[in-house]
Amino acid sequence: MIDPLDYSPWNFWSTADDAARRHQLDAQRDAAAARPGWSFGAECFVSELASVDNDELRLGDRSYIAAGAYLTGAFRTGRDCSVNAYTVIRGDVQIGDAVRIGAHTSIIGFNHTMTTTDIEFFRQPLESLGIRIGNDVWIGSHVVVLDGITVGDHAVLAAGAVVTKNVPAGAIVGGNPARLIRSRLTQAAPTGPAPAALGPRVAAFGDTARAQALDLLDRSFDAASGLFADRPGVAPTVRAQCDAVEIADLLLGSAPPQLPTGLQVDRLRGWQDTATGAVVGPLADPDPAYHVLCVGYALRLLGSGFDRELALVTEVSAAETAAILDALPWHTEAWSAGHQVDAIGTAMYVSQLRGDPVPAGAADTLFGWLLRHADPRTGMWGSPNPEDGLLQLVNGFYRTARGTFAQFGLPLPYPERVIDTVLQHAGDDQFFTSGRQNACNVLDIVHPLWLTRATGYRADEVRALALRLLEDALGHWTDRAGFAFRAPGRETAGLAETAPGLQGTEMWLAIVWYLADLVGVAESLGYRPRGVHRPEPAL
């Protein structure tokens, strides 16, 4: 007689006898020893009536595979996941925590290429984009999920759905092909024009910022040294000089009036290293990668440019460029990797402005590498970090795309997937509730959404998010001091990041413009970024 626990394995660890439990654990131990890519968490169950022939199989705690299931390829789960009877999972498939998969469902993470009729299709090579399914997802019976699909957290795939497009977080989809039925998320996306009061409120904010620009610049200027600091009481930095230039250009249409323009130009140009052209300077913020951006654009706003060529790109061959990109920590620290690519891309832009020769093929190698390595499931480069979800991935995308595709005016490889990933990340309350926002995290979702706006994809959701974030941002301004890098809130009161300064002011002014443009009221602001955060391509 067939053991019913093979078909209802969720009852196994509560009802099976000791002998059956030992047999199951022994089978898992033997399988893991024989198959290097296999591992099992606590209280997992795999029916002996299932056909499991994976190259990689990693089951999180309390996950199970029922009788009749057929699995091949690479399958990875979080905790508390179920693969019910007669389900087929093949190819590269990764699911999060608490994903429940109904009987007779097929999740197929590969496909035949079928690129020619000269060769029978079953003889043509396979391709695999992979399938990624988030946390707390309910997949009904007889569902089909095709290769390349990403399913967001808390989604529901109704029984019989044929999923051919990415599913947003919280969406309930059904039908063939699957379409949105409704959203489980409580916030509805508004439609139509911006609220009538928003335009005047944005205009009033722009007027206030311009009227107080001199005060906030004076607040951060040390007359004795002739240098800007981010805020009173901290040391001057290279970045602070550049932030002051950006703010003055944005709000006053001129160089910071605290010093003659020529003196500011000479100082920034003089901080370049004579051998490499990197901006190291005498100040306490040695970040040559970001200085390529901030100093390069500050000099441009001042009507000048770098005094020396940037060896970062002028002395690096195409092969060396590829090796640098390969070595960056895309899968552990995607933001850090994007930070370096932003500097490389901007150094190429600066070199083109100056007329400095860049080794043959280096620029093509940079963009070719990015096109080849963009993940078609997320539209981005690298992987999420388990410690902070999508934060590293999205922030790294912003830096990478800003310095390359955006700066040079080139189309992104997977714009709709970028929108899916950014909107999923924007639902993470630990970063985007009003009292937990900081300028970096908000800018890094706003710029990608603005960059991909022409697709019209999920436009109502993008607009709803932009309206909410714009309302928040307008409330962060401190009179005559500007913006803090981090939004004030109960949890962050007293932190240095919540003190208004030049960096926060420069970044949030740009954020406000992008948000206002996404909801159609940017003209009311009376300013438009022209420096590091300029919306137009630099060339």
Nearest to 460 by CA among 445, 472, 449: 449
H helices of 315-361, in order, are: 318-327, 334-354
Nearest to 151 by CA among 165, 142, 159: 165
- Cα 46 from Cα 27, distance rounded (Å): 9
C-beta of residue 441 within 8 angstroms of C-beta of residue 431? yes
C-beta of residue 240 within 8 angstroms of C-beta of residue 502? yes
C-beta of residue 381 within 8 angstroms of C-beta of residue 374? yes
Q: Exposed e or buried b for every residue in 198-236, given b needs 16+ CB within 10 A?
A: bbeebbebbeebbebbbebbebbbeeeeebbbbbeeeeb
C-beta of residue 312 within 8 angstroms of C-beta of residue 277? yes
In angstroms, the Cα distances linking 460 to 152, 167, 315, 333 are 17, 15, 46, 31
Q: Which residues contact 481 (CB under 8 A, 6 or more apart)?
A: 215, 216, 219, 231, 500
Kindly tell me the burial class for residue 355, based on how many C-beta atoms sit within 10 Å of its own C-beta (0-12, 13-18, 19 or more). Answer: exposed
Alpha-carbon dihedral 87, 88, 92, 97, rounded to 10 degrees = 0
Of 112, 142, 291, 331, which one is the catalytic site residue?
A: 112
Nearest to 243 by CA among 500, 536, 526, 505: 505
Furthest-apart CA atoms within the chain: distance in Å: 92
Nearest to 67 by CA among 51, 82, 44: 51
SS3 24: helix
Backbone angles phi, psi at 490, to 5 degrees: -60, -40
- CA 498 to the chain's CA centroid: 24
What is the token pair recorded at 409? 């005016």
C-beta of residue 328 within 8 angstroms of C-beta of residue 381? no
Helix (H) or strand (E) holding 70: strand 70-76
Helix (H) or strand (E) holding 15: helix 12-15
Query: Does 112 qualify as catalytic in the annotation?
Result: yes
In angstroms, the Cα distances linking 435 to 346, 430, 491 are 33, 9, 7
Q: Which residues contact 314 (CB under 8 A, 6 or more apart)?
A: 351, 356, 357, 358, 359
Active-site positions read 112
